[in-house]
């Protein structure tokens, strides 16, 4: 076995999985976890995420998030949220990887073989995401807090989307140390003015959607079996949050969005709300990566406050 995986992690894996680790290869793509493809003596190939700095419940929350998504993708979604539907029914092909094992120090998932992107896979992603959003969890928020990146994401339920988004997403991020250091008094006042206007700006008659919560281009994978969602930061919220995040950093073609709109048409005013819903991931990135994201935060606040 190559010296790639810490010996302590190897021992944990063998105890959890009941088989010796015979081969290890690093997997690139993330900046939070160390990631590996392992091959076991019993022939299984699995994906492993681990980090020395992970909080004790970090991987438990991710495993629960994958289960939360599966609950939405496993249902028909019809009639559960009032969103429009093209009548095509379940896509059947958007999935999440199976959780094999989990501990405080690591998460083991089924290993996915990535394939070349095709129009079919992109359309399945769009239709499947619409199905996921239709499977409403019935509340804004979640029964437990979880993580977006390495940041705690508070999910205590509030009665309206505007109240939840303002308090649990925007103002919470603004109070974290890096944002507190970088946001000027003027920007903080603009943010507070924007939050005070969210009731009119984000008026929403749709029930909460089941969100991936961190849907940038690196958090889904094309495979021969269809698209898979990975690394979620789930909660119940406005479905436009996922779509706004998808548009923020790229990685999704117009074919994905067109398939989504065909399956679940968007409410009037969607385009005007996109920058507001992009402000949350921008504040997250400000807290994680610092000053390079400040100008983008400032631009959104200047447009609305």
Of residues 214, 225, 242, 303, which has the active-site annotation? 214
Give yes or no: residues 5 and 33 share one domain.
Answer: yes
Q: Which residue has the tokens 């921008």?
A: 282
214 is catalytic: yes
* Residue 203 confidence (pLDDT): 83
DSSP code per residue over 121-179: HHHHHHHHHHHHHHS--SSSB-SS-EEETTEEE-----SSHHHHIIIIIIIHHHHSHHH
Q: How many CA atoms lie within 13 A of 236 on its CB side?
A: 23
Residue 83 placed within a domain: yes
End-to-end Cα, the chain, rounded Å: 57
- The predicted-structure confidence for 27-50, as pLDDT tens digits, reads as follows 986 678 899 999 999 999 999 999
- Is-contact 101 119, C-beta < 8 A? no
Give yes or no: residues 49 and 122 share one domain.
Answer: no
Does pTM surpass 0.85? yes
Domain that holds residue 184: 55-98+117-304
Residue 295 placed within a domain: yes
Give yes or no: residues 28 and 137 share one domain.
Answer: no
* Residue 30 confidence (pLDDT): 66
* Average pLDDT, 10 consecutive residues per value, the chain (305 residues): 72 95 87 90 96 92 97 60 41 86 95 96 97 96 96 94 97 98 97 97 90 96 96 97 96 97 96 97 98 97 88
Give yes or no: residues 33 and 93 share one domain.
Answer: no
Give yes or no: residues 21 and 154 share one domain.
Answer: no
* Residue 5 confidence (pLDDT): 83
Residue 162 placed within a domain: yes
Name beta bridge partners: 45.
39
Name beta bridge partners: 221.
228
Residue 207 placed within a domain: yes
Give yes or no: residues 46 and 195 share one domain.
Answer: no
CATH number at residue 24: 3.30.200.20
Give yes or no: residues 64 and 8 share one domain.
Answer: no
Give yes or no: residues 279 and 212 share one domain.
Answer: yes
Residue 104 placed within a domain: no
Give phi and psi for 205, each to the nearest 5.
Answer: -100, -5
CATH number at residue 265: 3.90.1200.10
The count of structural domains within the chain is 2
* Residue 89 confidence (pLDDT): 35
* Residue 159 confidence (pLDDT): 86
Residue 107 placed within a domain: no
* Residue 83 confidence (pLDDT): 53
What SS3 class is residue 198? helix
Give yes or no: residues 30 and 134 share one domain.
Answer: no
Residue 220 placed within a domain: yes
CA nearest to 241, candidates 207, 209, 201, 265: 209
* Residue 304 confidence (pLDDT): 86
Q: Tokens in use for 276?
A: 């507001």
Give yes or no: residues 282 and 146 share one domain.
Answer: yes
Alpha helix (H) residue ranges in the chain: 7-17, 58-73, 119-134, 161-164, 172-175, 177-182, 185-201, 240-248, 254-263, 270-289, 294-304
Q: Give the whole-angstrom CA distance, residue 160 versus residue 157.
A: 9
Give yes or no: residues 43 and 85 share one domain.
Answer: no
Give yes or no: residues 71 and 33 share one domain.
Answer: no
Residue 4 placed within a domain: yes
């Amino acid at each position: 076995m190559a010296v790639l995986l810490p010996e302590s992690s190897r021992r944990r894996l063998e105890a959890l999985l009941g088989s010796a680790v015979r081969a290890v290869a690093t997997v690139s793509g993330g900046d939070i976890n160390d990631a590996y493809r392992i091959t076991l003596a019993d022939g299984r190939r699995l994906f492993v995420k681990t980090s020395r700095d992970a909080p004790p419940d970090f991987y438990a929350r991710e495993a629960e998030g994958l289960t939360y998504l599966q609950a939405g993708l496993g249902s028909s979604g019809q009639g559960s949220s009032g969103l429009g539907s093209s009548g095509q029914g379940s896509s059947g092909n958007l999935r999440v990887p199976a959780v094999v094992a989990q501990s405080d120090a690591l998460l083991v998932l089924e290993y996915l073989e990535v394939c070349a992107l095709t129009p079919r896979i992109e359309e399945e992603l769009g239709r499947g995401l619409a199905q996921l959003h239709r499977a409403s969890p019935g509340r804004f928020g979640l029964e437990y807090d979880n993580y977006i990146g390495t940041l705690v994401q508070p999910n205590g339920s509030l009665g309206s989307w505007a109240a939840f988004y303002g308090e649990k997403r925007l103002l919470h991020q603004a109070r974290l140390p890096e944002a507190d250091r970088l946001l000027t008094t003027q920007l903080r006042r603009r943010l507070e003015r924007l939050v005070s206007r969210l009731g009119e700006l984000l008026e929403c008659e749709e029930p909460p959607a089941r969100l991936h919560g961190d849907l940038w281009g690196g958090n889904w994978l094309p495979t021969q079996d269809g698209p898979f969602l990975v690394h979620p930061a789930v909660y119940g919220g406005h479905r436009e949050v996922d779509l706004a995040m998808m548009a923020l950093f790229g990685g999704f073609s117009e074919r994905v969005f067109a398939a989504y709109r065909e399956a679940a048409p968007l409410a009037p005013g969607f385009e005007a709300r996109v920058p507001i819903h992009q402000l949350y991931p921008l504040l997250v990135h400000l807290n994680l990566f610092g000053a390079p994201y400040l100008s983008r935060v400032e631009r959104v606040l200047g447009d609305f406050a």
